Amino acid sequence: MTDSERSYVSRFFSSQFSRLPYPTQDFTDAVVLVTGGNTGLGLEAARHFVRLQAATVILAVRDMQKGQKAKDSIEATTKIQGVVQVWPLDLESVQSVQDFTTKAAGLPRLDVVVANAGISTSEWTLIGGTERSILVNVISTFLLIVSLLPKLQETATQQHTRPRVVVVSSEGHETTEFVEQKADRIFDALKDKTQSNMDERYDTTKLIQLYLVRAVAEHLSLSNKPAVTINAVSPGLCKTGLLRETPLAARILISPIKAVLARSAEEGSRTLVHAAGPDNGETHGKYLRDCKMTEPAAAVRSEQGQATQEKLFKELLEELEEVCPGIRGNL
């Protein structure tokens, strides 16, 4: 085991046993959007937002029936009615994302976006020419975020607040080799089965997300538009359904580890709520773990990492422009 691997393992164990503060932030009057809000971390984060006096909490879900059950659960436990809304959002469909953001443009305000929905799979599946986990975790996630920026910026101006965007990341970003970054065009390599390592694909998507959060933050900081915070948060290993598409043998192998080390979904959700809390820009572009700002992998902060970040951002805008011409004007 190398020094960096030992360091990662040590930090992982230390993190998993960290006590996370119970959320007490004030979300009074806030309109909060949580993708994947019907289960796991998203559901528990939404439950906290309702308890913390948010005016509206939108559960963006693929399955409306499951979304309604989540709404019923939140209302039953918080004893608060009339706050939760359930909206359809399928991140495997660009059209669904565009329909969703068109509807969101009609909101009176939008204070918080928690981009929690994602998939973990080693199966190679193309949707419209894009590998499924790249489409869901990267393309559609950032199409959603960039499309919502005008509403977030409008809220900043009208409410004299600083809206927040939270991207749910992973410590796994430290472990992937990300071989596709060596390609002439990274997003083309990610669409090519022969150049892709699907065993690392989930962690690769989380690394790409982190690069793009940092890039979007830098771009927003240089603009003269109203300030919006964007950050990335690692909730740690949690007892959720994220690994439902993982092969049975792998799930059996990891189940004892999860039983001993994994946080409950509620505990993990505390990191999301912390990252979404009222902010004056302190967490803008930052990576958070255990409800604290921390440094991402050294590779991300390196000169090569900066070059990869710039390349990914340029290519992301090209990908987004292809499906939504003019969207780069939102940044």
Under the banding of pLDDT at 50, 70 and 90, the label for residue 263 is: confident
Query: What's the pTM?
Result: 0.91
Residues 319-326 have a mean pLDDT of 97
330 domain residue, yes or no: no
202, 239 Cβ separation under 8 angstroms: no
CA distance 81 to 202: 36
User: Quick check: is 103 in a domain?
Assistant: yes
Q: What is the pLDDT of residue 171?
A: 85
Q: Could you report the per-residue pLDDT of 200-254, keeping only the tens digit for each? A: 999 999 999 999 999 999 999 999 999 999 999 999 776 665 555 555 555 555 5
Of 10-24, 196-210, 238-252, 271-285, the least confident: 238-252
The fraction of the chain above a pLDDT of 70, given in percent, is: 87
**CATH code, 56:** 3.40.50.720
Alpha helices (runs of H) in the chain, residue ranges in sequence order: 3-16, 40-51, 64-78, 94-104, 132-134, 141-159, 186-190, 201-222, 248-261, 265-275, 298-301, 303-323
Residue with tokens 């359930």: 86
Active site residues: 169, 202, 206
Residue 201 lies in a domain: yes
Does 206 fall in a domain?
yes
Q: Is residue 186 part of a domain?
A: yes
Angle between helices 303-323 and 201-222 in degrees, nearest 10 = 90
* Rounded average pLDDT over 63-88: 98
Residue 328 lies in a domain: no
Total domains, the chain: 1
- In this prediction, residue 259 carries a pLDDT of 56
Q: Which domain holds residue 245?
A: 3-322
Mean pLDDT, residues 28-53 taken together: 97
